[in-house]
Structure 1
Amino acid sequence: MDTASPLDSGELTFRDAVEADVSALVPLIDSAYRGDVSQGGWTTEAHFIEGKRTAPDAVLQVIINPVGTLLVVERDGALIACCQLEHRGEVAYFGLFAVRPELQGGGLGRRIIAEAERTVRERWGVREMQMTVLSVREELIAWYERRGYRRTGKLSPFPYGDESVGIPQRDDLAFELLVKELSS
């Protein structure tokens, strides 16, 4: 009996998100970061932050941002991942990276980040990608370091008191800036 899911194989397609995608993107993003379902993957933040990771209005703002896009990843028509790309002058920002928890750990994230880097080089001609990661996420930071990102030691505060980003379970949360020089 073949138990393979159609999400496990097939060609990946990448496209810019549109407003109609919001209702599918919010649960995808939340499932990769928060709640019980997120613990099926390895990128969960559930033990650091409770509550929702995002909201429809926030995702819509990323989609309609005139200097950025939310890149949607589909396999056989099914939404399986996304990432935010924003043009910030000489650099691009990478954020809202979400892969369905049951598909994490199989190389999909590596393929998506490579496509995101190619996209920002081609669209905007930038030579550096930046992102911020919770500084306590050592395993995730190590994964990005294996992809060529480096820690800068530059921290920005976690927005304590802003429940729109979740409810922190620790008082030592901060975001660290990671950077990668992109080759031509």
Structure 2
Amino acid sequence: LKKRSAEETKSILAIYDEEVSAASAVPSTSGHFPLFKRMKSTMYSHRSKRYLKLPEHRRDQQIPDAFRTTMAGEDFLLWQSASRHILVLATGSNIRLMATRRTWALDGTFKIVPQWYQQLFTIHAFLAGKLVLAVYCLCTDKDIPTYGFILSKSGITGNPQPQS
């Protein structure tokens, strides 16, 4: 469990469930598997060793080169604004995709962000009947001027057709 938690990207619960299923197939181990609530903190601890720790202050944040590009080598860190506390992640191809789409979806998520930010603001485009996530934005403000600033500074242009 520890090894898989550290090496795989599947959810911790999915890894646990797979291991429980495998263990229950063997009669000698079926009743001896630890409960999830006893194992999850250990599993999360081993997973966290793969990732960098956040510095104490946002001003000390440095994004390593490995996190600035995609696995295909395309730039992923689009830009960041220290004064407005905004970090925008997207590829050039995703920005170009946004320009070709008429329908966009914008969403804000608040519970999963690092401690210095207020929300993960995401921009999606409809492509072939599916919603495609194109831009990730970590920001401290949750207002229309911030969203407008993100769109204009990112070079996202087009003629979206608002639905609501």
TM (norm. structure 1) is 0.25
* Greater share of residues in strand: 1
Which protein is bigger by CA-based radius of gyration? 2
